[in-house]
Structure 1
Amino acid sequence: MAGAEPQIGGRIKRLRRQKGLSQAQLAETLEISASYLNLIEHNRRRITVPLLFRVAGYFGVEPGELAESDDGRLAGDLMELFGDDIFADSDLTNQDIRDLAANHPAVGRAVLKLFDQLKQFQRPEAHQEAPQSGYNLVTEAVSDFLQSEANYFPTLEAAAARVRADIDNAAEGFEQGLRTYLFNVFGIEVRLASLPTGVVRRMEEGGRVLAIADILEPESALFAMAQQAALLSAEAEIMALIEASTLPQPDSVGLARNVLASYVAAALIMPYEPFFIACRDTRYDIERIGRRFRASFEQVCHRMTTLQRPGMSGIPLHLVRTDIAGNISKRFSLSGIHIPRHSGACPRWNVYAAFLNPGQINVQVSQMPDGARYFCIARAETKGGHAYNAPKRHLSIGLGCSAAHADKMIYADGIDLNAPGGAVPIGVGCRICPRRECGQRAHPPADHRFPADDGQRMENLYMGVRSGPP
């Protein structure tokens, strides 16, 4: 039995669900049987070219968007996994891993899940006197969930549009209208308050008062208020998405609720169509858009990744957030670039160089070992610390796309995206990167062999390693 292209079935299912269609309804429209559509969606039948064009035409997307494979992201995750020290004696090649991702994606994802649980078990907190069971990496599960849905949720967009319409009808301005909405609909008064360190918002006085930390930046305070409104007004839609997902229950519910409520909050502050038009007209000028919608740099970047509405979609972007120690706390990719799952990214990536010039946008054309080029911007920011002696957090936000889409971004003006030698050579991570000439290696490649040459010492000890058996 021939298998379907690994990504097409999932994309068709996601588009069908976004339109609220059953398999029977879509099958009737496409003039095929529901059982045949079911097999396609579960990647058990290949889709014919004429049917591919009918599906693309119905959903208003390019056929190529449906046909693009997700093998690269899965293969990258698996390469990172098999680059771990526990597989040092394995004879797996990169081609073996790519074959696994392409031919048996379900097995590959199961292996990833097992490895995630192993990494969680290896963490010190997993060895307390009362160890937990299940050892799920909840953050990775939620990240995978967002990735599987292309970080676009039509039901949440609709919920946000409904609430925003009520607020706009009050003609008081968005912030005051949001306050009025919370009071009139839920009986909640919003107040600024001195809250304990680390607390952004808190319900007080029996749920009648929403206290917002008075040390927050205006954009963060507005977002905190919008997030509380989202939890109250879109609870049904949020829980329906969680219950229909494959997220581990109940471990991930709290985090998933928070993440999806943040999605609704962003959609409230930056409504889809006006925000999409602003991105298109300003060519993704983040600071200009932020001033228009009273949103922070990170909030605007994150919202840009959600522009996946069929017929009104933005650039396929990737987003990464890292701290100064290289810990990645947000990762999402529609651009095709691979962001490491368990380890830090390549030190040559501008998301790290941005720390050298905080507050400034750092621009980079980068090239992966396979030749793929990406256009990336990054900006480092300092958060917190608004009270005397309060600790600060140093984070860098990276946003980018395939070099093929870079001309749609204002930051690419004046840059030769195709200049020979003009791209910075980067990799996914040292353990799986084949660039032996890199002087910034922190680890040797997973299949390394050290040379027995005492007469020569390289700038970096790992530059002289070679691949393959001795």
Structure 2
Amino acid sequence: MSKLYAGARINALRRTHQLTQSALADKLDLSTSYLNQLENDGRPLTATVLLQLMKVFDVEASYFSPDRGTATATRLAETLAMNQGPTMSMDDLLDFADRFPQLAQHIIQPAEVDPTHSSAHDFVRDYFATHKNYIDSLDRLGEELATAIGQPGLRVTRLAQLLDAEYNITVRFRAPDITGRRHFDPQSRQILLRQDLSEAQQCFQLAEELTFLAHAELLDTLTTDQPDLPSEAAIRLAKVGLSQYFAAAVVMPYTRFLEFAQDKHYDIELISEAFGVSFESACHRLSTLQRSGASGVPFFFVRSDRAGNISKRQSAATFHFSRTDGTCPLWALHRAFERQGNITRQVARMPDGRTYLWLARAVKGRTHGFGYPAAEFAIGLGCDISEAPGLVYSQGLNLDPESAAEIGPGCRICPRENCVQRAFPPSGQESIRPAPVQLLN
């Protein structure tokens, strides 16, 4: 297990609370010289000292995670690029983010401090990222309900009976006259389910509606006074996201899902078949398996269209692409459209030296008849290269970081000067030009 050095964050916390090294050392029951070594990264952070720091400063363990600084540093790079500011190396940005976290947050885009400059979707995405895409209370409640209603074949009927008995709501299956997957009519006390839904989709839709009925107080608790949810629109959207999280926990209950995934070495197609869910749903659920003491691989999950617009982005770890610019065309996600129905694999290295295993597959949405195109997306699932040997998708791949494909976070903040796919220079380095292209006469 790698050692954790968190000197900059300990120093920042101490200065924020206006404590001297001696005063903090007393609170932590450490010698001043030992604390000095911790702050200067002369010693790694031990589990005992980490627990003491969490108690003294009332912070989560994730505050000291190196991933936290990476996220802030990436946003700083984007903000500087947007405002034509100076170009700084990622190492310098990481050091700044660690030592001056509050100042870094005020430099980052106005969207970070002014709700009027950001969308509710941005805030909700950050909310789930803060929780590492795992909501323990809802996940356990979903698993409990899954146990109570039983296996596929019985669970939809039992959910309908529960809604009828507890809430006087009737479920009408295979409704032909609705466009969405479900519709709740409060006047008639009916839930209408679209006629083409699979058994798992029916279960999901009923469980999602049940969240607002059975766990309204918990939804309020989870979304009230949350710094990541500063607007009413963000709170409303977060509640929808949380209800969908609960529904996924019912359809794919945590323990059974994790054990099956591990047994099959995270073979997504086998997981999809076993739980009756789509490739996308299985990938999304895999990115949430971070229960304390029983965690899975910390995956990143993304969904993109052909133009590179990322419409879903969930992560149990840290992988950062630009929020304000296009994604890297060398990323495996974009190749998935060329290989319909097949999984594309890629060992990729970011400019900061981190290497990842990515897999991606193109999927199509529901058809609407002749003359109406079906929505197409590429679904991507990635993990740190250290986790790759546990995945079936690592078979036959060279996992050596030195042999990895070099990708970046988007041209505006990517430092790779000689990339043949560069569309425009990084901000602040207008002398750098895309690689020349020879035209035929």
Q: TM-score, normalised by structure 2?
A: 0.81
Matches within 5 A, 1:69-468: 69-84=67-82, 87-88=83-84, 90-94=85-89, 95-112=91-108, 114-115=110-111, 134-168=116-150, 173-191=154-172, 192-197=174-179, 199-204=180-185, 206-216=187-197, 218-246=199-227, 247-418=229-400, 420-421=402-403, 423-450=404-431, 458-459=436-437
2:425/2:432 contact within 8 Å kept: no
State the percentage of identical aligned residues: 30
Q: Which residue number corresponds to residue 121 of structure 1? A: none
Deviation at 1:292, TM superposition (A): 1.4
Q: What is the CA-CA distance between 1:283 and the residue it aligns to?
A: 0.9
Q: What letter is aligned with 1:354?
A: A
**Partners of 2:303 and 2:380 within 8 A in 1:** yes
Displacement after TM superposition at 1:97 (Å): 3.0
Matches of 1:262 and 1:193, distance apart in 2: 21
One-letter code aligned to 2:418: E
What is the identity, as a one-letter code, of the residue corresponding to 1:49? T
- TM-fit CA distance, 1:177: 2.3
Q: Cα offset for 1:69?
A: 4.2
Distance 1:171 1:294 in 2: 9
Quickly say closer, same or farther: Cα 1:106–1:334, change in 2 above 3 A: farther
8 A contact 1:321–1:329 mirrored in 2: yes
**In 2 relative to 1, CA 370–255 (structure 1 residues): closer, same or farther, beyond 3 Å?**
same
For residue 240 of structure 1, give the secondary structure of its aligned residue in structure 2. helix
Q: Quick one: distance in 2 between partners of 1:7 and 1:230? A: 40
Letter in 1 for 2:93: I
The Cα shift of 1:350 comes to: 0.8
For structure 1, the 5+ residue unaligned runs are: 10-31, 34-43, 119-132, 462-470
Structure 2 unmatched runs, 5+: 1-6, 15-26, 29-38, 56-60
Residue 327 of structure 2 aligns to a residue in which SS? coil
8 Å contact 1:439–1:460 — kept in the other structure? no
What is the letter of the counterpart of residue 441 of structure 1?
R
Q: Once the 2 structures are TM-superposed, how far is the Cα of residue 48 of structure 1 from its aligned partner?
A: 5.9
Q: Which amino acid aligns with 1:98?
A: L
**Partner SS state of residue 232, structure 2:** coil
Change (3 A) 1:306 1:268: same
Alignment match, 1:40? none
Q: Give 3-state SS (helix, strand or coil) of 1:134's partner.
A: helix
Question: In structure 1, what is the Cα distance between the partners aligned to 2:438 and 2:359?
Answer: 28
SS of 1:177's partner is: helix
Identify the residue that residue 24 of structure 2 maps to in structure 1.
Answer: none
Q: Measured at CA, do residues 325 and 209 of structure 1 come closer, stay the same or move farther in structure 2, by a change above 3 Å? A: same
8 Å CA contact retained: 2:200, 2:251: no
5 Å matches for 1:40-79?
A: 49=46, 51-52=48-49, 67-79=65-77
Closer, same or farther: CA 205–432 of 1 in aligned 2, 3 Å: closer
1:159–1:7: structure 2 CA closer, same or farther, 3 Å change rule?
Answer: farther
- Per the TM alignment, residue 314 of structure 1 is displaced from its structure 2 partner at its CA by 0.7
**Aligned residue pair count:** 401
User: Would the alpha carbon gap of residues 105 and 225 (structure 1) be closer, same or farther in structure 2, given more than 3 Å must change?
Assistant: same
2: CA distance between counterparts of 1:296 and 1:167?
Answer: 21
